[in-house]
């Protein structure tokens, strides 16, 4: 059984109207530090100005003006500015797991290496610059332009940069996370069904008591809290994109009742769905659930 809990699992939630999360940073290098963590999403870090360090699966990567790096799903990574007092301006693009899955079901079987294609790398750099410009300008159609650029980046990655992942590769840092990954994959696949703690513990090969403690240590959420977050994210997406009723969205995404959906919603937004709509005239996105 795993003994250490050094690497945190990060839940990444899409911004409103975007197929992922886009954040522009400009801060001293020492404030760019992150602990080792991992997530199920593809992420790109693009350096606009400054010197940056990214560790991926134990390998150091030094980045400077105009460089970018792709962090594949499940990669254990860590970041920091190379000079503590020097400002680093950089773009972070994190692609929605569900959005990628909708177009490339088997993407988790691949790594995406931009060094395979100089042409694709150049095009992705151009698209990242466009995202930076639109993020800074925030014009009427910026979200649409950013969404288009993000989708085009994925096309370049899928068509020109994919490499079959070597599942037999022994990366010690990953070994202790295999139980969490297996549990998260199971939840994402079966969240619409009734899932018990005993069932998922049995699936990953741990006792319910040990699994409960292990999962909380690695995700900073209990199994039930994480399951509800996934159900809530998908229910809200259905309401936003298809206009289905609250009842239908709740029941079709694994909530046992509308009451359970309302309770989950209130735990995140501190209000009911109807109250939020009345106040903001829109359905909230899950992006308010920040890094966990």
112 belongs to a structural domain: yes
Helix ranges restricted to H, the chain: 97-103, 118-137, 142-160, 172-175, 178-190, 197-204, 208-219, 223-242, 246-252, 258-269, 273-280
Residue 172 pLDDT greater than 50, yes or no: no
- 101 with 67, same domain? yes
pLDDT tens for 56-105 read: 988 899 999 999 999 999 898 999 998 888 999 999 999 999 899 889 98
Euclidean distance between CA atoms 171 and 39, whole angstroms: 16
Count of domains in the chain? 2
Euclidean distance between CA atoms 126 and 66, whole angstroms: 10
pLDDT at 261: 92
pLDDT bucket at 171, cuts 50 / 70 / 90: very low
pLDDT tens for 200-236 read: 999 988 889 989 988 888 777 899 988 998 998 888 8
Lowest mean pLDDT among 5-9, 85-89, 252-256: 5-9
pLDDT bucket at 155, cuts 50 / 70 / 90: very high
- 40 with 115, same domain? yes
Domain end point (choices 113, 131, 164): 164
Output the six-digit token pair for 238: 């259905």
Angle between helices 258-269 and 223-242 (to 10 degrees): 100
- 82 with 225, same domain? no
Neighbours of 160 (CB within 10 A): 18
- 20 with 76, same domain? yes
pLDDT at 286: 39
- Please report, rounded to a whole number, the percentage of residues in the chain having pLDDT higher than 90: 52
- 124 with 147, same domain? yes
Specify the pTM.
0.66
**How, if at all, do strands 68-71 and 37-38 pair?**
unpaired
Backbone angles phi, psi at 278, to 5 degrees: -65, -35
CATH classification of the domain holding 57: 2.60.120.10
Angle between helices 178-190 and 223-242 (to 10 degrees): 40
pLDDT tens for 38-54 read: 888 999 999 999 999 99
pLDDT bucket at 274, cuts 50 / 70 / 90: confident
Domain end point (choices 142, 164, 186): 164
Euclidean distance between CA atoms 17 and 232, whole angstroms: 17
Backbone angles phi, psi at 36, to 5 degrees: -60, 130
- Containing structural domain, residue 153: 8-164
Residue 28 pLDDT greater than 50, yes or no: yes
Euclidean distance between CA atoms 133 and 239, whole angstroms: 31
Euclidean distance between CA atoms 60 and 54, whole angstroms: 6
pLDDT tens for 104-143 read: 989 989 999 999 999 999 999 999 999 999 999 888 899 9
- 148 with 29, same domain? yes
CATH classification of the domain holding 187: 1.10.10.60
Q: What is the DSSP string of 154-179?
A: HHHHHHHSEEE--TT---HHHHTTHH
pLDDT bucket at 199, cuts 50 / 70 / 90: very high
Using left for φ > 0, alpha for ψ between -120 and 50, and beta otherwise, residue 111 falls in: beta
């Amino acid at each position: 059984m795993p003994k250490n809990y050094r690497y945190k699992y990060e839940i990444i939630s899409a911004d409103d109207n975007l197929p992922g999360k886009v954040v522009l940073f400009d801060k001293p290098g020492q404030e760019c530090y992150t602990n080792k963590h991992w997530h199920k999403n593809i992420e790109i870090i693009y350096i606009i100005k400054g010197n940056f360090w990214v560790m991926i699966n134990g390998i150091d990567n030094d980045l400077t003006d105009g460089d970018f790096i792709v962090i594949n799903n499940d990669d254990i990574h860590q970041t920091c500015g190379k000079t503590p007092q020097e400002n680093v301006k950089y773009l972070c693009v994190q692609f929605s797991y569900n959005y990628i899955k909708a177009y490339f079901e088997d993407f988790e079987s691949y790594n995406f290496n931009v060094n395979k294609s100089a042409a694709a790398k150049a095009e992705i750099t151009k698209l990242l610059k466009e995202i930076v410009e639109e993020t800074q300008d925030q014009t009427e159609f910026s979200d649409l332009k950013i969404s288009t650029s993000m989708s085009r980046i994925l096309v370049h990655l899928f068509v020109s940069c994919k490499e079959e992942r070597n599942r037999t590769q022994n990366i010690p840092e990953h070994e202790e996370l295999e139980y969490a990954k297996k549990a998260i994959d199971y939840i994402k696949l079966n969240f619409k069904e009734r899932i018990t703690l005993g069932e998922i513990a049995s699936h990953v090969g741990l006792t319910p008591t040990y699994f409960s403690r292990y999962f909380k240590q690695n995700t900073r959420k209990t199994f039930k809290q994480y399951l509800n977050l996934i159900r809530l994210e998908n229910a809200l997406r259905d309401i936003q994109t298809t206009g289905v009723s609250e009842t239908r969205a709740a029941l079709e995404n694994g909530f046992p009742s509308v009451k359970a959906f309302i309770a989950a919603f209130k735990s995140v937004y501190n209000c009911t769905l109807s109250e939020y709509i009345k106040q903001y005239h829109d359905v909230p996105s899950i992006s308010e659930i920040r890094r966990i």
